[in-house]
Amino acid sequence: MSSARYAAAAAQLEDGKLFVTGGWNNGRLNSAEILTEQGWESNIPSLPVTIADHCMVKVNSTTVIVIGGHQNDQISGKTFYFTFGAESWTEGPELKYKRGYHSCGKIRRDKESQEMGIIVAGGNDGLSDMASVEILHEGSNKWQRGLELPFSITESQMVEDLNGGVILIGGHSTSMTGLDTLYQLPHRGQNAVWTKMQQKMRTGRKKHTAFLVPDSFC
């Protein structure tokens, strides 16, 4: 990368490019860069804040949203959209609760719908770990409460499954560190529940990365 960084966030774009924001390198960063076939490009406008321990979701083919984390050295609930083409950062709707070290993804509205919302789960508010979940419905400008996690979890990872649900992987809890568990939420509808999956990781872990791979890789 153009800048060494950790505690950054990344999102894969429609065209296969990788967009990376913020992180830490002798202080929190406000820079962003993008990986293309030609290599890393750092001509992306800087974020309005220094940021780390946040998460980022691709909203659609032209827009990503950066959510929470340490912003200007404080845990924050602020969000920012970046729109490719316009090449600009704009402030988005603020979370109900400030949080860092959380996970996020996209999830279906219900079993029948293809409408997707953005989901944020767990993290830490600067004082304690969190079990709360928030959802930003498609087209909405206000975060809503979602179904809480079974217990407080921070430093976990979330992946979107192939059916429009999400899976929360590993993380840290007050009583357990380096969790090996996977919890699945199939959609955000009325009857949806977080379910502990039978599968678990061989090694409990936190502050990790996670992504889907084809069955042919296994």
Q: What is the CATH number of the domain that holds 12?
A: 2.40.10
Residues of the chain with pLDDT under 50: none
Residue 17 lies in a domain: yes
In a domain? residue 97: no
The neighbour count for residue 50, using CB atoms within 10 Å, is 19
Indicate whether 109 and 200 sit together in one domain: yes
- pLDDT tens for 124-152 read 999 999 999 999 999 899 999 999 999 99
CATH number at residue 203: 2.120.10.80
**H or E stretch including 92?**
none
Does residue 52 sit in helix, strand or coil?
A: strand
What total of structural domains would you count in the chain?
2
Q: Token pair of 104, please?
A: 């996020």
pLDDT at site 177: 79
Question: pLDDT at position 189, please?
Answer: 84
Question: CA separation (Å) from 108 to 10, 14, 53?
Answer: 21, 19, 25
Name the residue with tokens 């603020």.
94
- 196 and 111, same structural domain? yes
Distance, in Å, from the CA atom of 9 to the CA atom of 37, rounded to the nearest integer, reads: 20
Q: Please tell me the distance from the alpha carbon of residue 167 to that of residue 54, in angstroms, as a whole number.
A: 18
Domain region containing 79: 1-92
Q: What is the pLDDT of residue 125?
A: 97
Domain stop point among 64, 92, 120: 92
- In this prediction, residue 218 carries a pLDDT of 67
3-state helix, strand, coil in the chain (%, to 5): 0, 40, 60
What is the model's pLDDT at position 126? Answer: 94
Q: Residue 62 has what pLDDT?
A: 92
Residues 85 and 182 in one domain: no
